[in-house]
């Protein structure tokens, strides 16, 4: 488990560092273990060690067995010619770099309890095996970890948006539309709503943004939700309008109605209702992209998404009734998942740091999300005080806890380091 060895080296949790049979040195002092490298190349960069009386500055490579150096073909890779120390658990053949230089090696020994703790964290059936988490990090350490988690989450979202931009010839409004449609699925129907957005490009909706009935016809028709026999005059009007517009624009075939999930969906989240809400947003707001960039508070979010819907429907098409507007919790969710990432995207593309700051402040001003992972962390002693912290915790849960990357998490590392005696020299 190389991740464990990396942690042991970085936190100096080893008991001894001894020379292998191929080395002639007698004393090793670790002055600086170096910076952990997540890219290609050695495991730690810019380390500083003293071997006997000579100071060495360079990189560190760590393996379970010395044979892995050759198995990974490091001896042919110029990235590894700056390695000053090869650390192994199981010693074997001497280590040579691409120039034929013999690299100093050492065998690392560490307490057995560290491996037992690592196995417990990685393989335990509990969702949060490191709980309780309340006092594992200081306030400053916790803040720094939250900031790093939020950065990782936003970077992933930006990568997704950039791919979307590439697919749509750098059309930012289309990227915003894709993002808005996806998160109007409110979890259960995210993928289905994104499929609909790909099936129905925004340009056709914008041609009819002044005609609400046509917007509803396009969205509901392409979603495959107008196929059953009509139950009243209004639905029949929608169906005929969709047939006309689909023929006029040569639209793709509507999605199968089974694309959208209704099981375990509350009436307020039925896809019919959500699509009518989207139609109203497009109808009531011109230059939606510009409006998103101006949002700086929850009140501004409510002005953007807190629409009043005009129509009443009979109980048809998956229980249509009076279509209400979005709840405050839904408005905040769209702010976190649509407005904030879009502001970060434009800030990056146009070099507008004020937009990045606006997005950051918006997250801090919004109430923390309330969902299962957030409640799980609350029971473990971590309470999110705002949406910025809840987004960080969601990233922690999805990318670390669920994937059992405990040895890469600062809480997991703190658990490993409890009562472990560090050492820095032989």
The DSSP code sequence of 197-232 is HHHS-HHHHHTTTT-HHHHHHHHHHHTT-S-SPPSS
Which of 35-39, 128-132, 312-316, 391-395 is the least confident region? Answer: 312-316
Q: What percent of the chain clears pLDDT 70, i.e. is strictly above it? A: 92
The b-or-e profile of 10-40 (16+ CB within 10 A means b, else e) is bbbbbeebebbeebeeeebebeebbeebeee
Confirm whether pTM is higher than 0.85.
no
Say what the alpha-carbon torsion angle 407, 411, 415, 419 is, to the nearest 10 degrees: 120
**Residue with the two structure tokens 């047939």:** 243
Q: Provide mean pLDDT across the span 146-151.
A: 96
Reported as a pLDDT band with limits 50, 70 and 90, residue 421 is very low
Written as six digits, the tokens of 253 are 């075939």
- The more confident residue out of 245 and 22 is 245
How many whole angstroms separate alpha carbon 423 and alpha carbon 400?
A: 28
Q: 326: number of CA atoms within 13 Å, CB side?
A: 27
Judge whether residue 312 has pLDDT over 50. Answer: no
Segment 174-191 shows an average pLDDT of 93
Q: Which residues contact 405 (CB under 8 A, 6 or more apart)?
A: 3, 399, 412
Task: Output the CA torsion sign for 178, 179, 183, 189.
Answer: positive
Q: What is the pLDDT of residue 426?
A: 46
Residue 167: pLDDT over 70: yes
Q: What integer is the mean pLDDT of 103-123?
A: 88
**Helices marked H in 350-402 — which ranges?**
353-365, 372-379, 387-396
Task: Tell whether the model's pLDDT for residue 44 goes beyond 60.
Answer: yes
Average pLDDT in the chain: 88
Mean pLDDT along residues 359-368: 96
Contact between 402 and 122 under an 8 Å Cβ cutoff? The reply is no
What three-state secondary structure class fits 294? helix
What own/partner pairs with CB < 8 Å and gap ≥ 24 does 302-310 have? 302/328, 302/331, 304/339, 305/281, 305/330, 305/331, 305/334, 305/335, 306/331, 307/277, 307/280, 307/281, 309/276, 309/277, 309/280, 310/212, 310/280
Angle CA 283–306–202, to nearest 5: 35
Q: What is the pLDDT of residue 361?
A: 96
Task: Identify the band that residue 308 occupies on the pLDDT scale cut at 50, 70 and 90.
Answer: low
Could you say which DSSP state residue 131 is in?
A: -
pLDDT band, residue 1 (cuts 50/70/90): confident
Rounded mean pLDDT of 47-70?
Answer: 94
Residue 193, burial from CB neighbour count under 10 angstroms (0-12, 13-18, 19+): buried
Query: Percentage of residues in the chain with pLDDT exceeding 90?
Result: 65
For the chain, domain boundaries? 2-110, 127-167+367-419, 172-365
Rg of the Cα atoms in the chain: 28
Which of 168-172, 279-283, 284-288, 329-333 is least confident?
A: 284-288
Higher pLDDT, 389 or 130: 389
Contact 108, 425 (CB under 8 A): no
* Extended beta strands in 22-82, E state: 28-32, 35-36, 44-51, 54-65
Backbone angles phi, psi at 103, to 5 degrees: -90, 130
Read off the pLDDT band of 310 (50, 70, 90). low
pLDDT at 263: 72
Tens of pLDDT, residues 250-285: 999 999 988 998 776 677 778 888 999 999 999 988
Q: Does the pLDDT value for residue 116 go beyond 90?
A: no
Among residues 310, 67, 65, 269, the alpha carbon closest in space to that of 187 is found at 269
pLDDT tens track for 77-96? 999 999 999 999 998 889 99
Per-residue pLDDT, 202: 94
Determine whether 426 is exposed, middle or buried from the number of CB atoms within 10 Å of its CB (0-12, 13-18, 19+).
middle
Question: How large is the average pLDDT for residues 396-410?
Answer: 90
Q: How confident is the model at residue 323 (pLDDT cuts 50, 70, 90)?
A: low
Least confident of 126-130, 256-260, 339-343, 352-356: 126-130
Tens digit of each residue's pLDDT (9 = 90 or more) over 200-256: 999 999 999 999 999 999 999 999 988 766 667 888 899 999 999 999 999 999 999
Predicted pLDDT at 233: 81
pLDDT at 72: 94
pLDDT at site 244: 96
């Amino acid at each position: 488990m190389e991740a464990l060895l990396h942690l042991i080296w970085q936190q100096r949790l080893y008991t001894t560092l001894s020379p292998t049979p191929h080395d002639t040195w007698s004393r090793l002092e670790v002055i600086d273990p170096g910076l952990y490298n997540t890219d290609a190349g050695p495991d730690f960069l810019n380390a500083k060690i003293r071997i006997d009386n000579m100071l060495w500055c360079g990189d560190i490579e760590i393996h379970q067995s010395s044979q892995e150096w050759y198995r990974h073909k490091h001896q042919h890779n110029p990235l590894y010619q700056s390695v000053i120390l090869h650390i192994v658990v199981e010693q074997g053949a001497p280590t040579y770099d691409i120039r034929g230089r013999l690299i100093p090696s050492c065998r690392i020994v560490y307490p057995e309890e560290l491996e037992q703790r690592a196995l417990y964290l990685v393989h335990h059936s509990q969702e949060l095996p490191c709980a309780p988490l309340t006092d594992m990090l200081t306030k400053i350490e916790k803040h720094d970890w939250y900031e790093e988690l939020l950065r990782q989450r936003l970077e992933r979202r930006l990568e997704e948006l950039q791919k979307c931009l590439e697919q749509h010839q750098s059309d930012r409004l289309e990227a915003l539309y894709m993002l808005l449609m996806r998160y109007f699925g409110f979890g259960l129907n995210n993928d289905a709503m994104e499929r609909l957005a790909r099936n129905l490009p925004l340009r056709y909706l914008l041609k009819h943004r002044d005609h609400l009935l046509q917007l509803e016809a396009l969205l509901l028709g392409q979603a495959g939700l107008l196929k059953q026999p009509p139950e009243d005059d209004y639905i029949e009007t929608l169906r005929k309008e969709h047939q006309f517009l689909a023929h006029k624009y040569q639209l793709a075939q509507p999605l199968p109605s089974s694309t959208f999930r209704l099981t375990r969906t509350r009436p307020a989240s039925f896809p019919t209702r959500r699509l009518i809400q989207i139609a109203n947003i497009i109808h009531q707001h011109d230059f939606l992209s510009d409006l998103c960039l101006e949002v700086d508070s929850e009140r501004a979010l409510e002005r953007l998404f807190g629409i009043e819907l005009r129509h009443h429907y009979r109980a048809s098409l998956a229980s249509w009734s009076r279509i209400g507007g979005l709840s405050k919790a839904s408005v905040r969710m769209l702010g976190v998942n649509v407005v904030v990432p879009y502001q970060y995207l434009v800030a990056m593309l146009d070099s507008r740091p004020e937009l990045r700051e606006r997005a950051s402040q918006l997250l801090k001003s919004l109430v923390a999300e309330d969902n299962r992972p957030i409640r799980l962390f609350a029971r473990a002693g971590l309470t999110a005080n705002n949406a910025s912290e809840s987004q960080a915790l969601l990233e922690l849960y999805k990318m670390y806890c669920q994937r059992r990357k405990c040895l890469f998490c600062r809480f997991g590392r703190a658990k490993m380091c409890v009562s472990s005696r560090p050492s820095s020299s032989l």
